[in-house]
Copies of this chain bind each other. A is one copy, B any other.
């Protein structure tokens, strides 16, 4: 049995808690938190502790808080056990005051009130010693089918990629929705297109799958589109991304 303390009560903490609840050989002995409303989620399901109270010893301490709070929370833990954080962007060295450090980073976006099936979520693990890496592998495998050891520098690169495919993509949806709203159009008309854009990834490299006026070098449509965009912000983004796509796919000139 691997005993766990979860420090943090937000979306990542809640999703990990639910996943561990269904896992064999893992027990969440205590959850440490501050916000009363979020503590409610764990009530009567495990022991609730505040940051001021003394913690019972567990095998692993999982710090699932915002990046800039990791150091502060880490410094409150007194243990010879394994201390890990769940961040994609923060190096393992943030936990340097502890003898045994690790990272347990699920590559996923978590939303308030939404519990995901962890089985398909890739888990990046890292540890400062081999035995702890094995321990994290065992812990990860209890909830996910995809546990990957990845060092801090590569995990950071993965995190930047995640910003492009998740944060920026979501922002493209927001702009699309803004344009629909401006023109009294129902954004849901674009949903099948959005779904297909993603489904294509399963059988076609996105580089090959690229379509659209910029890909075709269709200057006429690019100009018409720009003239339709009322917001300067939208025009700047449209221009930069179109130019960048154009440069990525240079149009061959006629041989004549």
Give me the interface of A with B, judged by CB distance under 8 Å. 66-68, 89, 107-109, 111, 114, 116, 120-122, 124, 146, 148, 150, 154, 156-177, 179-180, 182-185, 187, 189-198, 200-201, 203-207, 209-216, 218, 220-221, 224-225, 228-229, 233, 236-238, 240-241, 244-245, 247-248
Contacts and interface: CB of A to CB of B under 8 A. Distances in A.
A238 to B, nearest CB: 8
Given A107-B193, A158-B183, A160-B229, 18 more contacts: A89-B224, A109-B193, A154-B183, A156-B224, A157-B228, A160-B225, A160-B238, A161-B185, A161-B190, A163-B213, A165-B176, A166-B212, A167-B215, A168-B237, A170-B206, A171-B245, A174-B206, A233-B247
Contact of A194 (B165, B236, B237): B165
A113 to B, nearest CB: 9
- Secondary structure at chain A's binding surface: helix, strand, loop or mixed? helix
How many chain copies does the complex carry?
A: 2
Contact of A176 (B161, B197, B225, B237): B161
